[in-house]
Structure 1
Amino acid sequence: MDGNGARLYDYLMEDEAPYHQWLAWTIAHLEEMKFSAPAIADVGCGTGTLMSMLLSRGYDVQGIDYSQEMLAVADEKIRAYNNVAPDLRAQHMSYLQLEKQVDAIIVFCDALNYLADEAEVKQAFRAFYDHLTPGGRLLFDVHSLSNMNHHFPGRTYGDAATDVSLILNSFSVDDVPGAVEHEMTFFERLSNGDYRRFDELHRQRTFSVADYEQWLQAAGFEQIEITADFTKQPPQADSERIFFSIRKT
């Protein structure tokens, strides 16, 4: 997402995305670890909303995202809200390179769904495993296949604030199972009253629960807990988000 899109999407969606639910789910699992001060890597941190929430609660968090523009928004936000200079790094999650291992890696808000294919997901899982301390946790969620195949295709979404509007249209991708494309059109009101339009295209892809579980095991993970939609219940046919809590032994 470019600089304009990152800034405006964050402005429109900060109250729409379930950040407080991601926060509660993350903290509940961090507390289970009983580490006195867990070091956390927020991979795919985007504009830093969840990272900022964790920092405000005293957690040691570094942010990783492939988009320099997203990180620029995160840096500005965290400096303003948390009064600290955040530890932010521009990296592709499949080729993660941290200075030292961390106690938890979190990957939320569709971040893993931006990986293009099976090979990138497998490489990301191996990178996550290598960068976790023994006993550390990998926490992430992905869109379900049901969500990708039935909910998104043909969907039109609109959101408007005083000076910014967004129209989002979603389409399935021919010959790529579990993939969708989101066409995003932004309108930003300028100081002279005119509007500026710009467009972005985002592709996301997901895989079956069984695929993710198999690839996690191949990366070396053994203790894998799979639930759905911020609950403790296992995924159902109509579940929207699949949650994974994995402990490195």
Structure 2
Amino acid sequence: MESYARFAEVYDELMTDIPYDEYVEWVMLHAPSENYPNLLDIGCGTGTMALMLDEAGYNVSGIDLSEEMLAVASSRIASKGAKIPLFAGSMDELEGFSELDVAIIPIDSINYVTEEKAIKETLQRIYASLREGGQLFFDVHSLFKMDEIFLSSPFTYDDGGVTYIWHTEPGEYEHSVYHSMSFFVGTENGLYERFDEEHFQRTFAPQQYVAWLEEIGFKSVFVTADWSHESPQEESERIFIRAIK
């Protein structure tokens, strides 16, 4: 079953707790748009962050594997009168970009790339697409979140219009999780339409990501956690990584 197929319809409603503005501030702090204007949003989803970065002064382009997500993003961008080129493609097959000032892989998108070879290929292709001094920003689920928090399912959600039941189980790799979600979306006639999605994510220790980045050639790598400037702790949930070419 394709990840982010029908999910694109309800994605934004379920992501209201994500502080996108803090992500944008993180990028702006280290790569201000006046000095790092050209930015590629990899795994741009429904375009929320791409639009925020566009409004912050960056020349933004977006790429995502999901055609459904890109359709939502295109509609959102058009409704704001913005001009943000969007492309369909897998991040481990990234090509056609060069001399980028900034690349971002936001909101644990890289955790959907589950094979080590594909992760390293993704980082290598981004490295090749950045100019000297260009920066990569991305975040991943921590080991604690993958091994402890996610596996304490089931989780439920109900806002009156969208309801879901979310089950998880350990994946075939260490620090990986299968997500099985059943959604019930309200319709105009007062009934609910059900659809199901399955997602698979995998993460690695922060030190592993740092090792890959340094092996590829990034000269400086910085690691923080949980929307802060602090180093990761044992129970940190989201790891943020910035690397400079």
TM category (shorter chain) comes to over 0.9
> Where do 5+ consecutive residues of structure 1 fail to align?
none
Aligned match of 1:202: 199
Do 1:228 and 1:239's aligned partners in 2 also have CA atoms closer than 8 Å? yes
> In 2, distance between residues paired with 1:196 and 1:104?
40
Q: Secondary structure at the match of 2:151?
A: coil
What percent identity do the matched residue pairs reach? 38
Shift of 1:163: 2.3
- Once the two structures are superposed, the pairs formed by residues 148-167 of structure 1 within 5 Å of their partners are 148-167=146-165
**Counterpart in the other structure of 1:21:** 22
| 1:47-103 deviations in Å (ceiling 9; x for gaps) | 1111111112222110011111111111111111x3124200011101101343210
Give the match's secondary structure for 1:201: strand
111-120 vs 93-102, which moves further: 93-102
Asked if the contact 2:98–2:128 (Cα under 8 Å) also holds between the matched residues in 1, the reply is: no
Match of 2:236 in 1: 239
Distance 1:218 1:125, change over 3 A: same
CA distance in 2, matches of 1:56, 1:71: 19
* Shift of residue 235, structure 1, vs aligned partner: 1.3
Shift of 1:34: 6.0
> Which amino acid counterpart does residue 48 of structure 1 have in structure 2?
G
Q: Which amino acid aligns with 1:185?
A: S
CA contact (8 A) 1:38 1:59 kept: yes
Task: Calculate the TM-score normalised by the size of structure 1.
Answer: 0.92
Note the C-alpha offset of 1:2.
4.6
Equivalent of residue 228 in structure 1, options 222, 225, 229: 225
Is the Cα contact below 8 Å between 1:12 and 1:160 reproduced in 2?
no
| Aligned residue identity for 1:71 | L
User: Hey, what does 2:176 align to over in structure 1?
Assistant: 179
1:146 and 2:138 aligned: no
Report if the CA contact (8 A) 2:98-2:131 is conserved: no
Check conservation: 2:41, 2:105, Cα contact below 8 A.
Answer: yes
Find the residue that maps to 1:171 and give its secondary structure: strand
The aligned amino acid for 2:41 is: D
State the secondary structure of the residue aligned to 2:28.
Answer: helix
Q: Which runs of 4+ in 1 moved over 6 A?
A: none
Distance in 2, matches of 1:113 and 1:101, equals 25
Q: Compare 48-57 and 125-134 and name the one that shifted more.
A: 48-57
Q: Which consecutive unaligned segments of at least 5 residues does structure 2 have?
A: none
Q: What are the Cα deviations for residues 91-134 of structure 1, in whole angstroms up to 9, with x where unaligned? A: 11011013432100001111010001111111011001000011
Using the alignment, how far apart are the partners of 1:133 and 1:54 within structure 2? 19
Q: How far apart are 1:3 and its partner, in Å?
A: 4.2
Superposition deviation, residue 135 in structure 1: 0.7
Distance 1:87 1:124 in 2: 20
Q: Aligned partners of 1:2, 1:228: CA distance in 2, in Å?
A: 26
Amino acid at match of 1:147: K
Bigger CA drift: 59-68 or 153-162?
153-162
Q: What does residue 9 of structure 2 align with?
A: 7
Query: What displacement does 1:166 show?
Result: 2.1
Map 1:1-249 → 2, pairs under 5 A: 1-13=3-15, 15-31=16-32, 35=35, 38-80=37-79, 82-173=80-171, 175-248=172-245
Aligned residue pair count: 243
SS in 2 for 1:153: helix
